[in-house]
Amino acid sequence: MIQNSEWALLLKTDPAQAEMVRGKLETSGIKVRLEQEAVGKILGFTMDGLGEVKVYVLNDELEEAKNILEE
């Protein structure tokens, strides 16, 4: 879990969507961190929150990241 106060949770999603979001944001110059618990990586699916990926961006880039994803 990211405990650093300079990172903000942008969204929770499945692994494939998280990678697409990361690619879109990083292409726009936004720093991104993905966090997923080990069991989700091992099983390879998302169910009732199990296996979901948390997408974090820097606090000062949160609004810009939201705007980019809305485009």
Alpha helices, H only, the chain? 15-27, 38-43, 62-70
In a domain, 34, yes or no: yes
**Taking residues 29-36, what's their average pLDDT?**
94
- Model pTM? 0.81
In a domain, 35, yes or no: yes
In a domain, 1, yes or no: no
Domain of 32, CATH number, reads: 3.30.70.1530
Structural domain total, the chain: 1
In a domain, 2, yes or no: no
In a domain, 23, yes or no: yes
Q: How confident is the model at residue 44 (pLDDT cuts 50, 70, 90)?
A: low
In a domain, 58, yes or no: yes
pLDDT at 43 > cutoff 80: no
Map residue 27 onto helix, strand or coil.
helix
> Who wins on pLDDT, 41 or 24?
24
pLDDT at 17 > cutoff 70: yes
Residue ranges making up the domain that contains 53:
7-70
pLDDT at 26 > cutoff 70: yes
